[in-house]
């Protein structure tokens, strides 16, 4: 199912225009998203677990995948489909060994990190940030499209892209090899989340059709 993902919404407190996360989640799912990541940096395990329980119920109803950022124990305890890990979290190989049934996503900020994550057994690798972003503190500068064009052909595992991505960037991202587009504020801070998700999915499909043709 992960290979069929197009838009990949990442929902995080503080980036929802004051709306509650569960409310934004429902809108994202109504828009047709097939995957959602819950990202609650710095929250307690109990807080993340409580929100993950709500997310699991809604994503189950919608037939969508649920990925938990950082918290492997919560992902396992709440029956999520996967966990997304950064460089400072549980090592990828350790997570894969402990939870072989989970989708294990890995952040990468360079060619070397992307290839290392794949070798460690990551189910998918995230490449980013591609553009300047305020939603993630990353010591590395934005990678840009040239880095994406270089890294994408090297990976055998599926990959996502993230970091400052707007709908207008999608055609050039698809042309560079990306088909799974992770977004935070472009979706969660939209006035009409349902229409935004639908529009992004349509843009990805149109760009892919153009590439195929």
Q: What is the largest CA-CA distance in the chain?
A: 49
> Which two three-digit tokens encode residue 36?
């959602």
Q: Which of 107, 152, 113 is nearest to 128 (CA)?
A: 107
Three-class SS of residue 44? coil
For the annotated catalytic residues, the residue numbers are 39, 107, 136
* Bridge partners for 69 per DSSP: 84
Q: Which of 194, 111, 201, 181 is nearest to 147 (CA)?
A: 111
> Which two three-digit tokens encode residue 42?
């710095």
Residue 140: exposure state from Cβ atoms within 10 A (0-12, 13-18, ≥19): exposed
Count how many Cα atoms sit within 13 Å of the Cα of residue 177 in the half-sphere of its side chain: 16
């Amino acid at each position: 199912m992960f290979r069929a993902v197009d838009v990949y919404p990442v929902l995080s407190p503080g980036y929802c225009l004051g709306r509650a996360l569960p409310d934004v989640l429902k809108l994202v799912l109504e828009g047709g998203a097939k995957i959602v990541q819950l990202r609650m940096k710095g929250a307690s395990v109990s807080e993340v677990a409580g929100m993950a329980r709500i997310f699991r119920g809604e994503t189950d109803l919608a037939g969508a995948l649920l990925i938990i950022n950082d918290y492997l124990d919560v992902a396992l305890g709440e029956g999520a489909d996967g966990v997304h890990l950064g460089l400072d979290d549980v090592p990828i190989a350790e997570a894969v060994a402990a939870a072989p049934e989970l989708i294990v996503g890995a952040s990468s900020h360079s060619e070397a990190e992307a290839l290392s994550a794949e070798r460690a057994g990551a189910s998918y690798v995230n490449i980013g940030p591609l553009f300047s972003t305020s939603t993630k503190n990353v010591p590395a500068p934005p990678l840009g499209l040239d880095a994406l064009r270089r890294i994408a052909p090297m990976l055998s595992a599926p990959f996502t892209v993230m970091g400052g991505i707007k709908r207008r960037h999608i055609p050039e991202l698809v042309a560079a090899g990306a088909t799974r587009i992770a977004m935070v504020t472009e979706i969660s801070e939209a006035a009409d989340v349902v229409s935004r998700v639908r529009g992004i999915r349509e843009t990805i499909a149109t760009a892919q059709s153009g590439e195929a043709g």
